[in-house]
Structure 1
Amino acid sequence: MFNLWGRAVIIRAVRRFFDRRGYLEVETPLRLPTLAPEPHLLPQRSGQWFLQTSPELCMKRLLARGIPKIYQICKCFRREERGSRHLPEFTMLEWYRAEADYCDLMSECEELLPAVAAALADTAGTERELARPRPETALFAGPGNHLAPSWERLTVAEAFRRYAGIEVEEALRRDLFDQLLVERIEPRLGQGRPTFLCDYPAALGALARLSPTNPAVAERFELYVKGLELANGFSELTDPAEQRRRFEGDRALIRAAGRRPPPLPRRFLADLAEMPPAAGIALGIDRLAMILLGAERIDQVQAFTPEQL
């Protein structure tokens, strides 16, 4: 009961944060004829279509139609993701801003998390007893809550040198990037204060824009708190030809893994030509609830887990 009340307070606080900043809350379809090809994700089929892994493509199409600031809280689905921090059905917050870049989103994260933590602390009456962070477990409970700016900003290249003892280019060449990131780097991130792990190698840019000053890296970051990845954001790529090339490369990787890639998202690529410079981010609501409520497993912030259905 404690965590369900707390989760509700968190979601209300998130909505209040974006509503007050002039964002439009949108709702896009969960079931889609195609998705962005992502080699490391397994989408859930729904008949001949798919359940979304993210609302990203539809939200960017709305940006292209002239809506400058949008956010959404929705369900996303990814097969074979189950563990203490993963669910095959989970809740995602995504927001997008026109005429912004990934640095703007990092600053917005530094405002969002303290606002939500404060909403928990300020919950009154019955909800206060059920929803406030437990001082003995919640990371940000009480004074000196580690959320004050400035949060650590650490490049991927520096993180690999500091914590893995290897250059990131060498890790990529030897196909050790993911292993070293998970085993040696992530556990050290966000300890004491949140960490933005930023400036990913261009090959891992996905839908991110390359840096105009250093095209070897993409303007992408991930936010970590106590070793837990909370959010993934970037300056958006708005070049349809480059995005098509990246999609085709990812489709080839999916085929090489013995799977069938989703159809190319042609309508998204057509709309991308009209999209303004923008930045977007995905943040896991379940993980945010874990962090703020002091939960050790994602199960503890759910009404029901898959095993209970």
Structure 2
Amino acid sequence: MSDDAPEGLEAVRLDKLRKIEVLGLDPWGTRFDGQQAIADVRRLPVPEGPHQSETPGPAVRVAGRIMLRRDGGRVNFLEIRDWTERIQIFLGKKQVGDLGWSLAELLDLGDLLGVDGTLGYTKTGELTVFATGLTFLGKSLAPPPEKWHGLTDLEQRHRQRYVDLFSNPESLATFLGRSKIVAAFRNVMAGRGFIEVETPTMQSIAGGAAARPFITHHNTLDLDLFLRIAPELYLKRLLVGGLERVFEIGRVYRNEGISPKHNPEFTMMEAYQAYGDYHSMMDLTESLICGAIESLGGGLQRPWGETTIDFTPPWPRRTYAELILEHAGVDATDLEAVFAKAASLGISTAGKDPDVVTNQVFEELVEDRLEGPIFVIDYPAAICPLTKRKTSNPAVAERFELFVKGMELANAYTELNDPLLQESLFRTQLAGQKEEDSMAKMDDDFIRALKHGMPPAGGLGIGIDRLCMLLMNRSSIRDVILFPLMRPQSS
């Protein structure tokens, strides 16, 4: 096919658009009330046997995109699809009249069409809407993917999500499923007495996580601002203010790499519960994820590639120290052994806190082996500056991460609410950080808020995109983000 073939096909479609206008019809459609979801139509009771005029099925009204077309002289067959299902349409010249038949001859794949008719079966047993009236709802000037096999090139699927959605049913199902997961989260949180709030996405100080932020500038105030890397510090301010159970579902931004597990812009749910701790957050996490699975249907055993993930609660809870001993073969308290293991892995140890080195060994040798779901609990305190320490062992922080198939899905703490210790830890963390890194400035207002008294609390963050990957059996985070960040196409 020559390079100008698409333009030639578009010219043909443009000519049909003009002919539709000559028929007195609006080629861009009009209001079409009362249409029924095709999935609902397919569930309607229909008389047995081929469609007969003397025993018509129920009257229906459907609308969708034309996906298939078969011309047969004085009758045509179409397949249209909406966001719930597909159905066959029978077009007979006698049934749709002269205007309807003239329109039918100008239809292309990809056009949007409204159909009034009766539901029945063809002689071959195919459930069909026998059209009695047509309403043109929109012309497709761009030719669809060849033969409606769908858009198959992965990069083009991500760049042209609008085509991917209407040409690949599994992609549409993925994003409808994602919507169910988010709705289920909100239902679970409301059922537990949480309120949903909104906090700033542009912040004067980037805090709440260790990540490099995106920087923007406010012209009127002549002020550099950061796209948030986490909503944590603002949500905790609300605990101070007396909102005892709060959560937010929203976008966060981290100026880091792109991979099958990472997108610079992603969706998190963060929640904070006054008078709770990290054990409260484990129970909440199980309820949220199991509620999401229930919204999708199909049970708690979910396919993942060639394997299966069993989400049946309760999920195992193993300490960080146990797992590093099991999988890395070193005692986390034996710093000499830890540093030797790090050196054998090519991990630089110069000038690093021993707990940071230990965590790098954990990331290298342990995380990928965590099939899960499993709660990894009790992390080294030095890498958890916002977390309360265990009373019995101040070197250990009351923190967990949830891992499934080697991916971190959730991170939770018993929140640190001691303003004096928090200020000291911030200053320690800030030492030596580059100005462009996150938390490179002290958030004095957050410390001021803590001094007014924050109740003991549990806090939780869950990555919505990674969870959708796992529950929808998708291998890349780009497959579950409608419009992932892409490098601009060269002209």
Q: Same fold (TM over 0.5)?
A: yes
Deviation at 1:183, TM superposition (A): 2.2
Structure-2 separation of matches of 1:110 and 1:138: 24
Q: What secondary structure sits across from 1:80 in the alignment?
A: coil
Structure-2 separation of matches of 1:254 and 1:138: 43
Structure-2 separation of matches of 1:290 and 1:258: 31
Deviation at 1:37, TM superposition (A): 7.2
Structure-1 separation of matches of 2:484 and 2:369: 29
Q: Which residue of 1 aligns with 2:442?
A: 264
| CA RMSD, Structure 1 to Structure 2 (Å) | 2.3
Q: Which residue of 2 aligns with 1:18?
A: 189
Q: Which residue of 2 aligns with 1:184?
A: 365
Structure-2 separation of matches of 1:175 and 1:216: 13
Q: Is 2:292 the counterpart of 1:116?
A: yes
Residues 212, 436 of structure 2: 8 Å contact kept: no
Q: Give ranges in structure 1 of 5+ residues lacking alignment.
A: 123-132
Could you list the per-position Cα deviations for residues 204-229 of structure 1 after superposition, in whole angstroms to 9, with x for gaps in the alignment? 22200001122120001100011110
Q: Which residue of 1 aligns with 2:427?
A: 248
Structure-2 separation of matches of 1:244 and 1:258: 20
Where does 1:53-202 land on structure 2 (aligned, <5 Å)? 53-121=229-297, 135=303, 137=305, 146-169=310-333, 170=335, 171=338, 173=354, 176-189=357-370, 191=371, 193-202=372-381
For 2:320, the aligned partner's letter is: V
Q: Give ranges in structure 2 of 5+ residues lacking alignment.
A: 1-171, 218-223, 339-352
Residues 105, 280 of structure 1: 8 Å contact kept: yes
Deviation at 1:87, TM superposition (A): 0.9
Structure-1 separation of matches of 2:262 and 2:390: 31
Name the structure where helix makes up a greater proportion of residues. Answer: 1
Residues 233, 280 of structure 1: 8 Å contact kept: yes
Deviation at 1:150, TM superposition (A): 2.1
For 1:281, the aligned partner's letter is: L
Structure-1 separation of matches of 2:437 and 2:394: 31
Q: What secondary structure sits across from 2:284 in the alignment?
A: helix
Structure-1 separation of matches of 2:196 and 2:471: 23
Cα–Cα, structure 1 residues 194 and 266, in superposed 2: closer, same or farther, change >3 Å? same
Structure-1 separation of matches of 2:188 and 2:208: 32
Residues 433, 440 of structure 2: 8 Å contact kept: no
Name the structure where strand makes up a greater proportion of residues. Answer: 2
Higher relative contact order (CA 8 A, sep 6+): 1
Deviation at 1:139, TM superposition (A): 7.0
Q: What secondary structure sits across from 1:307 in the alignment?
A: coil
Structure-2 separation of matches of 1:134 and 1:176: 35
For 1:295, the aligned partner's letter is: R
Normalising by structure 2, we get a TM-score of 0.56
Structure-2 separation of matches of 1:31 and 1:308: 24
Q: How many aligned residue pairs are there?
A: 292
Q: Which residue of 1 aligns with 2:74?
A: none
Deviation at 1:253, TM superposition (A): 3.6
Q: Which residue of 1 aligns with 2:388?
A: 209
Could you list the per-position Cα deviations for residues 175-230 of structure 1 after superposition, in whole angstroms to 9, with x for gaps in the alignment? 632432222100111x2x41111101111222000011221200011000111100
Residues 204, 225 of structure 2: 8 Å contact kept: yes
Deviation at 1:135, TM superposition (A): 4.9
Residues 206, 438 of structure 2: 8 Å contact kept: no
Q: Which residue of 2 aligns with 1:9?
A: 180
Deviation at 1:41, TM superposition (A): 1.3
Structure-1 separation of matches of 2:310 and 2:439: 42
Which structure has the larger Rg? 2
Deviation at 1:80, TM superposition (A): 1.8
Structure-2 separation of matches of 1:284 and 1:78: 13
